[in-house]
Structure 1
Amino acid sequence: MKSRLFVVVFLFASLINSSCKDNCNNELAVEEFKKDLQTVAYSIKNTNINLKELPLVIQKIEKVSSIESESDSNYLGKFHPTSSDVMKWTNWFENNKEKLCLDNKNNIYYLKE
């Protein structure tokens, strides 16, 4: 009886694990991360533009990379990333892009194990 229960639990866990891995869309994550880096770089070069999504982009990148922006922040978020931020995030991306996934539902990045 215990061996049957173990087999059922093992199969269930394997099924859940494989379905989670199948949800990782690496190509879309890489494309989206590159787009977000370009948004940040564009905001540095063009300071007169209004990018209201910039604080969310910075927050997404910071969360997945664990590299905080040097940008000043207020209650609305961070609005002035630096060239150094872009370089650090680009280096992190080059080292981790194979593990990068995108959760489309929540629009956040995560690293697959």
Structure 2
Amino acid sequence: MTKIKVRDLLYMAMGCLVLTGTIANLLLMFTVWEQYQIDHAQDAFFKLAGSIGLAVISSCVVVAAVIIVTKNLTQPIKRLTSAMVELSNHDLDIHIPYQTHQNEFGDMARTLDMFRG
């Protein structure tokens, strides 16, 4: 049975969002380009430039979201997992991170500290 990690699911979801947004932006660019070729209007060129700018901005937002998710979700999970592995090897002198955090990571860290005894 294959084990799917939360991180992988998040990356797949973000990839789907990027793909959907990119396809929508490409369709918009082609539509505007056709209008530009038909009308030769300066307005169509500005719409094309705007849609390209929108594609660049949306790509930057997605990259920022991936960085934020990686920093705020993946790193704490890795650190807590490392503490769990050390605790399972009977190393009771380990430092368990995130015990003071008032979120799910803090809850897991405090619970892990209870296992330490």
Instruction: Please say whether Structure 1 and Structure 2 have the same fold, judged by a TM-score greater than 0.5.
Output: no
Higher helix share: 2
Q: TM-score, normalised by structure 2?
A: 0.29
Larger relative contact order (C-alpha < 8 A, sep ≥ 6)? 1
Higher strand share: 1
Q: TM-score, normalised by structure 1?
A: 0.30
